């Protein structure tokens, strides 16, 4: 069977079939298009059909290929690790804008390390670290980051050995009601990386409480939030003593990042 015939089979949307076929042939999509009339080896075709069945069963496409793209970077991902999403690039942009030269920056709940990978490319001056509770995700971050960041296992800020100039976090923020309505492929991703409690803000509240004990004077806390959560999170920051609170919108116009500056003296 030729690559062209496989792409036209209708088993999956053509874009998804193209990604899977290029993955199994170990070629880029440009090469695949050039050789559409070449026969696909039977063993490769059988493996492809196996993954087509898994995709139909709700497996994320990124788990099947073992790769996700974020900030134009190819990153390793797999079961047990949250798939990086384009809206999180808004958090990277805020960190690039606000982090002082040479700042210490920690990604709390780093997952695959996508945010740190992007920052290491855009801001090589930063001293990067990440904290992750899931060992599976931590191993994935180590694979993606190498020696570009110090990684710590643990819960939120607790493992950090010193204060940071910037804390960024894309913590779980899906509410219990919204979690029940997620697509099948999203539900294959780790529940703990998505579900944030009844209103989606359980972990964000905890981090807002902890953050001042782990930030330098004038340090920034930058949080990704879900649709409709920005005002509540901005209020949490104000109540905790943060100043210069702002809200950034993503490309869809959703208030996606909420940030504030810690201006109180440590331990005050």
User: pLDDT tens digits for 59-100?
Assistant: 999 999 999 999 999 999 999 999 999 999 999 999 999 999
| Domains in the chain: boundaries | 3-57, 67-262
Q: Is the pLDDT reported for residue 112 higher than 60?
A: yes
Over range 151-165, report the average pLDDT.
95
pLDDT-derived band at 179 (thresholds 50, 70, 90) equals: very high
For helices 42-56 and 14-25, the axis angle rounded to 10 degrees is 140
Over range 136-160, report the average pLDDT.
96
Cα–Cα distance between 64 and 238 in angstroms, integer? 43
> Taking all residues of the chain, what is their mean pLDDT, rounded to a whole number?
94
Cα–Cα distance between 29 and 129 in angstroms, integer? 34
HSE, CB side, 13 Å, CA atoms: give it for residue 130.
Answer: 32
Q: What is the pTM of this model?
A: 0.92
Over range 186-191, report the average pLDDT.
95
Cα–Cα distance between 111 and 80 in angstroms, integer? 9
Architecture of the domain delimited by 67-262? 3-Layer(aba) Sandwich (3.40)
Q: Is the pLDDT reported for residue 240 higher than 90?
A: yes
* More confident site: 266 or 51: 51
Over range 235-253, report the average pLDDT.
96
User: Reduced to 3 states, what is the DSSP secondary structure of residue 266?
Assistant: coil
Contact residues for 200 (Cβ-Cβ < 8 A; gap 6+)? 172, 173, 174, 175, 176, 178, 226, 229
Torsion 226-231-237-243 (CA) sign: positive
């Amino acid at each position: 069977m030729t690559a062209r015939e496989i792409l036209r089979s209708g088993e999956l949307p053509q874009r998804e079939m193209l990604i899977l076929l290029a993955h199994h042939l170990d070629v880029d999509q440009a090469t695949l298009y050039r050789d559409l009339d070449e026969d696909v080896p039977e063993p490769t075709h059988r493996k492809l059909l196996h993954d087509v069945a898994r995709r139909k069963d709700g497996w994320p496409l990124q788990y099947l290929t073992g790769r996700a793209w974020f900030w134009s970077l190819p990153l390793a991902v797999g079961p047990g690790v949250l798939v990086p999403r384009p809206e999180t690039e808004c958090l990277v942009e805020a960190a690039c804008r606000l982090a002082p030269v040479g700042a210490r920056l920690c990604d709390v709940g780093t997952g695959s390390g996508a945010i740190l990978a992007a920052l290491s490319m855009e801001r090589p001056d930063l001293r990067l670290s990440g904290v992750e509770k899931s060992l599976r995700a931590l191993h994935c971050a180590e694979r993606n980051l190498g020696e570009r960041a110090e990684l710590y296992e643990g819960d939120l800020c607790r493992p950090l050995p010193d204060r940071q100039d910037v804390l960024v976090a894309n913590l779980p923020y899906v509410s219990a009601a919204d979690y029940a309505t997620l697509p099948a492929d999203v539900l294959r991703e780790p529940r703990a990386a998505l579900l944030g409690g009844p209103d989606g803000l359980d972990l964000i509240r905890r981090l807002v409480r902890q953050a001042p004990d782990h930030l330098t004077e004038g340090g920034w806390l930058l949080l990704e939030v879900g649709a409709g959560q920005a005002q509540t999170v901005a209020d949490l920051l104000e109540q905790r003593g943060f100043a210069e609170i702002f809200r950034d919108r993503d490309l869809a116009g959703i208030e996606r990042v909420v940030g504030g500056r810690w201006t109180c003296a440590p331990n005050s």
